[in-house]
């Protein structure tokens, strides 16, 4: 089974949104780039029939920045469909993104930790065989 490719017009729309971010999206993009570079977040990402504000395919997390027009039944349905694709959806209001980016960064860090509570640590040697200079297997 091949990877889903959105229609060209959908990709063009995502590109236009990427080139014209809201102030709140710009603020969160800065937070993501500065605090979570290893998660490789992308902006305005097509997922199913939606364009999400930010997504990390590596961590399977979607971040949405919502203005006053959000919060209804359609957002619940959208969230359910995105979560059905294996992503966790986190939402922030525009005023939080602009007025308290530190709190947003803390919430994102917590969500990433909850989603992957035991990150792989770099190999320190030794392992179960103690002194790895004796292990050649």
Question: In this structure, what are the phi and psi dihedrals at residue 131, rounded to the nearest 5 degrees?
Answer: -75, 110
Give the model's pLDDT for residue 17.
78
Establish if 16 belongs to a structural domain.
Answer: no
Instruction: Note down the domain range covering 101.
Output: 22-117
H or E stretch including 35? helix 23-35
User: Do the domain assignments include residue 126?
Assistant: no
| CB atoms near residue 47 (< 10 Å) | 19
Q: Which residues pair with 61 in a beta bridge?
A: 56, 88
Is there a domain that residue 99 lies in?
yes
Question: How many domains is the chain built from?
Answer: 1
- Residue 64's domain is classified under what CATH number? 3.40.960.10
pLDDT for the residue 135: 34
pLDDT of residue 19: 80
Give pTM, 2 decimals.
0.74
Instruction: Give a yes or no: residue 30 inside a domain.
Output: yes
Q: Looking at residue 130, what is its pLDDT?
A: 41
pLDDT in 10s for each residue of the chain, 137 residues: 455 666 677 777 777 777 878 899 999 999 999 999 999 999 999 888 889 999 999 999 999 998 765 556 678 888 999 999 999 999 999 999 999 999 999 999 999 988 654 444 444 444 443 444 333 33
Q: Answer whether residue 2 is part of any domain.
A: no
Classify residue 111: in a domain, yes or no. Answer: yes
Judge whether 104 lies within some domain: yes
Is 131 within the bounds of a domain? no
């Amino acid at each position: 089974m091949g990877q889903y490719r959105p229609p060209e017009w959908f990709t063009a729309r995502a590109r236009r949104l990427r080139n014209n971010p809201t102030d709140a999206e710009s603020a969160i993009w800065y937070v993501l780039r500065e605090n979570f570079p290893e998660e490789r977040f992308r902006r305005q990402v097509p997922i199913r029939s939606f364009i999400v504000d930010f997504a990390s395919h590596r961590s399977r997390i979607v971040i949405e920045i919502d203005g006053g027009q959000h919060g209804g039944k359609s957002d619940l349905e959208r969230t359910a469909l995105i979560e059905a694709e294996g992503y966790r959806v986190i939402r922030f209001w525009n005023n939080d993104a602009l007025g308290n980016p530190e709190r947003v960064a803390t919430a994102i860090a917590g969500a990433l930790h909850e989603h992957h509570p035991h990150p792989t640590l770099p190999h320190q040697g030794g392992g179960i065989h103690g002194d790895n200079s004796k292990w050649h297997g």
